[in-house]
Amino acid sequence: MLHRRKGAIPYLLLAPGIAWLLVFFVLPMWYLGKMSLSEGLFPTFSFNWAWGNFSEAVSSYQTQFIRSGEYAAIATVIALAVSYPLAYWIAFRGGKWKNLFLLLVISPFFVTYLIRTLAWETILSDDGVVVNTLKWLHILPPDGRLLATSVAVIAGITYNFLPFMVLPLYVSLEQIDHRLIEAAEDLYASAPRAFYRVTLPLSLPGVFAGVLLTFIPAAGDFINAQLLGTPRQYMIGNVIQSEFLAVRDYPTAAALSFVLMAAILVIVLIFAKVLGTERLTVAA
């Protein structure tokens, strides 16, 4: 049931947040949009309706676009697989320690990214326990390594965005009424079936949110590829970074950014349609 009441209430609620976004996001994006249609060499750029920037951007960096999508998708799937049971456990078995566990999940972020990554470089070191074990299990060839490969980059992305996946999942799972599950079991559903027919569907809003919060920033990430990968793993985020800061070709950087944003939005919309989000974003 929705409040169909006309009235200022929704707008009042929205006002402060939306105002913030309009001023500090939309306005800069407007400037950026103008830049994407400009041409020239740093620091003089002139607005020129240069639509060619976009097609050039896409054709030059096709590989990186696709790669980013792949890496982000894989990382999201792995993150989901790892996070769902964890979130479930915290929500259903956490008891009064729930908030503490949530904090534990977030806490790796308190240690700066660079130091965490250095720690991973130590853990995944060519001569470390992990790599040696994998070699012993013949998963890795004798001269193999984990660092400076796409495995390391994807692992890094997954790790980095794990809390983004756990939190929304937890939020959704935590409020499922246990009596619904009990009812299902009373009606002779086995535990797995009860999960599949009751818990899982009710947790879909969380899944949707978690996937969004993970996939979207992951697709634009550059830092994992930079520190854990080689040139062959560079993502579109790395390209944008270098066009912006190193080459200082602002029109190309701007065009690439918009293409990236558009691509992500398209993927998200498709995903939403598949999941039937109409149910998810509107209260039943």
Partner 1 sequence: MSEAFTREDLLRRAVAGGALLSVPGLLAACGGSSKSAATTTTTVSTTLPQTIVWSNWPLYIDVKGKRHPSLDQFQAHYGVKVRYIEDINDNDSFFGKIEGPLSQGQSTGRDLIVLTDTSGLPGRMIELGWLEKLDKSAIPNIKNLQPIQQHPNWDPNREYSLPWQSGMTGIGYDPKLVGGDIDTLHQLLTDPKLKGKVTMLTEMADSMGVTMLANGDNPTKVTNATFDRAINTLQAAVNSGQIRQFTGNDYAPLLAKGDIYACLAWSGDMVQLQADHPGLKWVLPKDGGMLWTDNMLIPKGGHTYGASVLMNWYYSPTIAAEVADYVNYITPVVGADKVLLKSDPAIAKNPLIFPTEEMLANLHQFDISAVNNVKYKKQFQALIGG
Partner 2 sequence: MRWIKHHLLTGYAILALIYLFLPITVVVAFSFNDPKGRFNYTWSGFTLDNWLHPFDVPGPQSALEVSIEIAFLAALIATVLGTLIALALVRYKFRGSGSTNMLIFIPMTTPEVVMGASLLTLFVNWVVPQGFGTILIAHILFNISFVVVTVRARLVGFDRHLEEAAMDLGANELVTFTRVTLPLIMPGIIAAGLLAFALSIDDFVITYFNAGSTITFPLFVWGAARVATPPQINVIGTAIFLIAITLMLGNIFLQNHREKKGAVPA
Residues 90-119 touching partner 1, rule: CB under 8 A, are 118
**Residues 6+ positions from 206 with CB-CB distance below 8 Å:** 87, 168, 169, 170, 171, 172, 173
Q: Please state the closest distance from residue 80 (CB atom) to partner 1, in A.
A: 28
Q: Which of residues 214-243 bind partner 1 (CB under 8 A)?
A: 227, 229-234, 238-239, 242
Handedness of CA 136, 139, 142, 147 (dihedral sign): negative
Q: Please state the closest distance from residue 169 (CB atom) to partner 2, in A.
A: 8
Q: Could you tell me which stretch among 171-179, 186-194, 246-254, 269-277 binds partner 1 (CB under 8 A)?
A: 246-254
- Of partner 1, partner 2, none, which one does residue 129 interact with (CB within 5 to 8 Å by kind)? none
Q: Please state the closest distance from residue 209 (CB atom) to partner 2, in A.
A: 4
Distance CA 170, CA 157 (A): 20
Query: What is the helix (H) or strand (E) element at residue 41, kind and residue range?
Result: strand 38-41
Q: Could you tell me which stretch among 83-91, 103-111, 245-253, 257-265 binds partner 1 (CB under 8 A)?
A: 245-253
Distance CA 258, CA 91 (A): 38
Q: Which of residues 218-237 bind partner 2 (CB under 8 A)?
A: 219-220, 222, 237
Q: Please state the closest distance from residue 79 (CB atom) to partner 2, in A.
A: 11
* Helices of type H across 27-149: 27-36, 52-60, 62-93, 98-106, 113-123, 129-136
Select the residue interacting with partner 1 from 244, 263, 267, 268 (CB under 8 A): 244
Q: Please state the closest distance from residue 230 (CB atom) to partner 2, in A.
A: 20
Distance CA 151, CA 144 (A): 12
Select the residue interacting with partner 1 from 246, 274, 282, 283 (CB under 8 A): 246
179 near partner 2 (CB under 8 A)? no
Q: Output the CA–CA distances (angstroms, integers) from residue 75 to 32, 171, 197, in the order listed.
A: 29, 21, 26
- Of partner 1, partner 2, none, which one does residue 261 interact with (CB within 5 to 8 Å by kind)? partner 2
Q: Which of residues 37-96 bind partner 1 (CB under 8 A)?
A: 41, 43, 63-64
**Region for residue 138 given its phi and psi (left: phi exceeds 0; alpha: psi -120 to 50; beta: otherwise):** left
- Of partner 2, partner 1, none, which one does residue 126 interact with (CB within 5 to 8 Å by kind)? partner 1
Start-to-end CA distance of the chain, whole Å, equals 6
The nearer residue to partner 2, 149 or 241, going by C-beta atoms, is 241
255 near partner 1 (CB under 8 A)? no
HSE-CB of 226 using CA atoms within 13 angstroms: 13
Distance CA 162, CA 67 (A): 20
Distance CA 27, CA 20 (A): 10
- Of partner 2, partner 1, none, which one does residue 230 interact with (CB within 5 to 8 Å by kind)? partner 1
112: closest CA among 160, 163, 164?
160
Size of the site for partner 1 (CB under 8 A): 30
Before 43, cis peptide (omega within 30)? yes
Residues that bind partner 1 (CB under 8 A): 41, 43, 63-64, 118, 121-122, 125-127, 143, 145, 147-148, 227, 229-234, 238-239, 242, 244-249
